[in-house]
Chains A and B, each alone.
Chain A
Amino acid sequence: MDDVSQLRRGAVELAVLRMLAEGELYGGALVDQLAGYESLATTRGTVYPMLSRLRAAGLVETTWHESPVGPPRRYYRLTDEGRAACERRSSAWRGLVADMNRITGGKEPTA
């Protein structure tokens, strides 16, 4: 695991929660939406285990919908607990970003 992976893990999870806060989605759609952001793009090998963890933690729940292609498809949506966690983490994230920008912003690394 490289040093950036640890930073990305929390960010991708929060991004998934935010996307689900907008409405229910299936796993493939989440992967596609994340792919629209260069720094958040990831594989389904990361997203699906993450969704499984979020479901085990009670932050998301699933429901089945008929699919135009193939068997029914599992959709994910936030639970009340997930919605609260999403707001809490979003707020913490904004604080972190503001502080980290003050620490890292505009300074060139010294040799």
Chain B
Amino acid sequence: MTIDEYVRRVRAALRVRNARAGLDELRDALAELSEAVGEDRACAEFGAPEEYAAALDAAFAEDQPDEFDPPPAGRLFGIPVNWSVDATWWRRLFDPSDTRLLVPKAFGWGYSVNLGAAAVRLGLLRPDDIGPDTLAELRTLDAASPLVATAVVAAANLAHAALARRGDDDLRDAIVAAAIVAAAALPTATKQPVIQRLTAQAFANFVLGAALGKAIDRHRRGYGVVAVAAGVATAVLGLTLPIRSAVERAARKENDAR
């Protein structure tokens, strides 16, 4: 194998973008060794390219992922960007063990609020309340009732904006909010785990509160903040109350088993 081929295979196997910084050093080291033993032998002594890539990944990884860690976000103009969606997307919007209030967006470019960090700061949750045992204790009903309430508010807002002719800006915001609330119902419609349903709904409540706040502010300046605060409160409480109940149930179950 030639040095070029070896480096190319290492590069192709890398998973951590930053680890490419180690390729120049690898090429130099291979070139130095090849002067003594030849290219083919030098490459053989460095082991399989895929194994070398894994070692480089480990050396350059910023985070050691665990079962809950979301995929690392890339960056565009220094701002996080994430176009991948997997089963841990909710962890970007709700991670009590992460102290950051602003985290890379679950999907898209920029930052979003980590409702989990907010709940911990408000003393509503502990950082390690989320775990396989508590997630297993979340109930389908926990997510169903708030979804109906959110949908009713979004529909009422949309109907009022259209029928009362509040203006194009109000109607546009109401349509966007209703679309996001509808999208937030997708995890429920597709029977995803309850935590995904709850997180999606919390995000929808957040957006709905902001849309209502903007609309109210246009007509009664200064009053919009009430709707925004209500949106934040329902987002945080809609997530934390079911989790606190799940914690109680998990603890009771364990005590009963003893």
Contact = CB atoms under 8 A, between A and B. Distances in A.
Interface of A: 1, 9, 27-28, 43-45, 48-49, 51-53, 55-56, 62-64, 66, 70-74
A66 B133 CA distance: 16
Contacts of B255: 64
A66 B255 CA distance: 10
Interface string B204-245: 000000000000000000000000000000000000000010
A44 B127 contact: yes
A45 B99 contact: yes
Contacts of A72: 247-248, 250-251
Given A27-B126, A62-B131, A64-B255, A71 B248 contact: yes
Contact of A74 (B68, B98, B128, B248): B128
30 contacts: A1-B62, A27-B127, A27-B128, A43-B99, A44-B97, A44-B99, A45-B97, A45-B98, A45-B99, A48-B128, A49-B68, A49-B97, A52-B67, A52-B68, A52-B131, A53-B66, A55-B131, A56-B67, A62-B128, A64-B247, A64-B251, A64-B254, A70-B123, A71-B126, A71-B247, A71-B248, A71-B251, A73-B126, A74-B126, A74-B131
Contact of B100 (A45, A62, A70): A45
Nearest to B247: A71
- Residue in B64, B97, B123 whose Cβ sees the most chain A Cβ within 10 Å: B97
Interface of B: 62, 64, 66-69, 97-100, 123, 126-129, 131, 133, 244, 247-248, 250-251, 254-255
Given A52-B68, A70-B123, 15 more contacts: A27-B128, A44-B127, A45-B100, A48-B127, A49-B97, A51-B128, A52-B67, A53-B66, A64-B250, A64-B251, A64-B254, A64-B255, A72-B247, A72-B248, A74-B126
Given A1-B62, A62-B131, A64-B250, A49 B69 contact: yes
B129 A74 contact: yes
A58 to B, nearest CB: 12
Contacts of A51: 128
B252 to A, nearest CB: 8
The interface centre, meaning the residue of A9, A48, A63 with most chain B CB atoms within 10 A of its CB, is A48
Contacts of B250: 64, 72
Contacts of B99: 43-45
Nearest to A64: B251
A49 B66 contact: yes
B69 to A, nearest CB: 7
Contacts of A53: 64, 66
A66 B66 CA distance: 27
A71 B240 CA distance: 12
A75 to B, nearest CB: 10
Which among B66, B68, B244 has the greatest number of chain A C-beta atoms within 10 A?
Answer: B66
Contacts of A28: 126
Contacts of B133: 62
A95 B59 CA distance: 22
A39 B103 CA distance: 27
Nearest to A75: B128
Contacts of B129: 74
